[in-house]
């Protein structure tokens, strides 16, 4: 009896709620924050979009090359270590050889590779834009479910995206969270980051 009643409430709520999508776009991969020996200071290193392949007997090492944004010193992010060429997908191997731009971008966003290399990623320095309809909080007449998505797994704070898209200050955003006007099931919007997708709810005044 309780389940049926709860289900009817949920269905009714969905019928009186509109939904939109915001898609987060980035102009370039995130930088890597490292100590640069030539500069003598911590500097952002940016992906060059170029791969380096080194043959060791019958095996290969493959790296993505990063450059210091101040002096062009390089750092190599390891992609493959001592791998036999025949174990690689031929299309993937060819992509490394020709410095395929799409493949380089995919590797630069690959959280598994970044974590494995112990890279300190400059997510806060990442430039992004949010595509999708704006929301006027004052004139909202129906609750809205907002699906925030991206083509890449991004560690951008949901609060940063919401504040920009809703054009609200930090204090105003905190008030909206405290009142329950903005919330997300199972996520703390003060800390949540956009990995590949996030659904948030915006209630009427």
| Residue 7 in domain | no
Of 73, 105, 123, the position where a domain reaches its end is 123
Instruction: For residue 192, give the nearest of 152, 144, 156 by alpha carbon.
Output: 156
* Cα 133-138-142 angle, rounded to 5 deg: 65
The structural domain count of the chain equals: 2
| Residue 2 in domain | no
DSSP per residue, 88-117: S-HHHHHHHHTT-HHHHHHHHT-HHHHHHT
| Residue 143 in domain | yes
Residues 41 and 117 grouped into a single domain: yes
Bridge partners (DSSP) of residue 194 are: 156
Residues 109 and 170 grouped into a single domain: no
Half-sphere exposure of 159 (CA within 13 A, CB side): 16
Residues 107 and 162 grouped into a single domain: no
- Angle separating helix axes 90-97 and 101-108, nearest 10 degrees: 100
| Residue 146 in domain | yes
The beta strand positions in 27-58, using DSSP E, are 32-36, 41-56
pLDDT at 9 over 70: no
| Residue 3 in domain | no
Residues 38 and 86 grouped into a single domain: yes
Pairing label, strands 41-56, 32-36:
antiparallel
Specify the pLDDT at position 61: 95
| Residue 137 in domain | yes
| Residue 18 in domain | yes
> What CA–CA distances, in Å, run from 65 to 45, 105, 106, 137?
9, 12, 14, 45
Widest pairwise Cα distance in the chain: 71
Residues 112 and 148 grouped into a single domain: no
Query: What is the rounded distance in angstroms from the CA atom of residue 52 to the CA atom of residue 48?
Result: 11
Domain enclosing residue 196, as ranges: 13-27+127-202
Of 123, 149, 178, the position where a domain reaches its end is 123
Residues 104 and 178 grouped into a single domain: no
Task: Convert the pLDDT of each residue in 119-178 to its tens digit.
Answer: 899 998 889 999 999 999 999 999 999 999 998 888 899 999 999 999 999 999 999 999
- In the 8-state DSSP scheme, what is residue 195? S
Instruction: For residue 105, give the nearest of 160, 24, 181, 51 by alpha carbon.
Output: 51
Task: Convert the pLDDT of each residue in 17-76 to its tens digit.
Answer: 899 999 999 989 999 999 999 999 999 999 999 999 998 888 999 999 999 999 999 999
| Residue 22 in domain | yes
Identify the H or E element spanning 158. helix 158-166
């Amino acid at each position: 009896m309780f389940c049926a009643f709860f289900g009817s409430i949920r269905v009714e709520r969905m019928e009186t709620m509109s939904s939109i999508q915001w898609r987060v776009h980035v102009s370039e991969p995130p930088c890597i924050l490292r100590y640069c020996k030539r500069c003598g200071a911590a500097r952002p290193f940016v992906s060059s979009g170029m791969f380096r392949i080194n043959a060791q007997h019958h095996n290969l090492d493959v790296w993505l090359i990063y450059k210091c944004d101040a002096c062009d010193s390089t750092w190599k992010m390891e992609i493959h270590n001592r791998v036999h060429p025949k174990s690689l997908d031929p299309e993937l191997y060819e992509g490394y050889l020709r410095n395929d731009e799409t493949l380089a971008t995919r590797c630069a966003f690959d959280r598994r590779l970044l974590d494995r290399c112990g890279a300190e990623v400059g997510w806060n320095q990442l430039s992004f834009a949010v595509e999708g309809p704006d929301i006027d909080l004052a004139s909202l007449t129906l609750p809205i479910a907002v699906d925030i998505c991206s083509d890449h797994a991004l560690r951008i704070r949901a609060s940063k995206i919401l504040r920009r898209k809703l054009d609200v200050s930090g204090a105003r955003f905190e008030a909206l969270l405290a009142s329950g006007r903005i919330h997300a099931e199972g996520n703390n919007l003060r800390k949540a980051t956009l990995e590949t997708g996030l659904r948030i709810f915006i209630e009427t005044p």
